[in-house]
Amino acid sequence: MYRYLGLLLLLLSFSVKGQELNATVQVNYSQITDANTQIFKTLETSVTEFVNNTRFTSRNFERNERIDCVFFINITAYQSNSFDATLQVQSSRPIFNSSYLSPVLNFNDKNFGFSYTEFQNMVYNPESYTSNLISVISFYANMIIGMDADTYEFEGGTPYYDVALRIASAAQQSGYKGWSQQDGNQNRYFLINDILSNTYRDFRQALYDYHRLGMDIMADNSKEGKEKIIEAINTLSKVNRARPNAFLTRVFFDAKSDEVVSIFSAGPMVTLTDLVDTLNKISPLNSAKWSTIK
């Protein structure tokens, strides 16, 4: 009896601790009108189970510590188990002493081609390439974990970025787009190589300062929190001075632009003139949003 009780407790412990992600996977196939829709539903189930049941790191996450994220796969073409798609990846993290979830990553991968056979086995192995579907999903899983860790500890995400880099390097031989610097300047290749480059170290400093020193104290001292967030944005502006229109600056504001507007449009007043000028310099594509900050 005690033997079986011990086994039960062990199984329960694995059900509570382990996997890092709490993912929602959605597969949209509205553009496909001449195929059996069951394969898209099976694909959604397979990716959901893969992301949520795989341990991508050696860390143990309590169930309430798992990172909320979304993988939105938009199928644009399908023929004979070959898929063309885009992939929107989003993640968020909780803010201390609040129920608010702050967006961390919001990235649209426009070159997501892959093959998938219904009910195929999906196994995580960061050291070798088996399929582009597994590699792309695994790459972003590690990027999500890495960026989340960076918001809690300066450069805390490095071990997970290193794994993402190994996945990207192994996948370059696949021939699929998005893994090479020849495939454009805003893809997986540049996302992982830039984030690990010392040239963009201020991006990671800003990511930490914005969340841990700014957002996490907003509930207790919103004025000080806002001032720290301004300092983080000023740190990010150093990236723009070194590399105008840097890819990572766009990545930051694709996730954060609406939140920044919301933060500085209410509550305790802080000096905004310099902030708006800085925002317009480093993210001019969002100038219409910055103009609403009063």
What percent of the chain clears pLDDT 90, i.e. is strictly above it?
86
Q: For residues 103 and 109, what is the distance between their CA atoms, to the nearest angstrom?
A: 17
Contact by Cβ (8 Å): 224, 257: no
**Residue 199 structure tokens:** 């040239």
Q: Indicate the pairing of strand 21-28 with strand 67-79.
A: parallel
Q: For residues 26 and 88, what is the distance between their CA atoms, to the nearest angstrom?
A: 10
| Total-model pTM | 0.93
Residue 20 pLDDT greater than 50, yes or no: yes
Q: For residues 71 and 44, what is the distance between their CA atoms, to the nearest angstrom?
A: 10
Residue entry with tokens 């003139």: 273
Over residues 84-104, mean pLDDT: 98
DSSP H helices, 153-246, are: 158-171, 188-195, 201-208, 222-242
Residue 5 pLDDT greater than 50, yes or no: no
Over residues 104-109, mean pLDDT: 98
pLDDT band with cut points at 50, 70 and 90 for residue 142: very high
Contact by Cβ (8 Å): 209, 217: no
**Residue 258 structure tokens:** 């609406």
CA distances from 288 to 86, 105, 244, 284 (A): 27, 21, 20, 9
- The residue among 18 and 258 whose pLDDT is bigger is 258
Element (H, E) at 67: strand 67-79
**CA proximity to 102, closest of 63, 137, 67:** 67
- Tell me the domain boundaries of the chain: 18-196, 202-290
- Supply the DSSP symbol for 219: T
**CA proximity to 55, closest of 82, 8, 7, 20:** 20
pLDDT (0 to 100) of residue 266: 84
pLDDT, one tens digit per residue, over 159-172 is 999 999 999 999 99
Over residues 75-103, mean pLDDT: 97
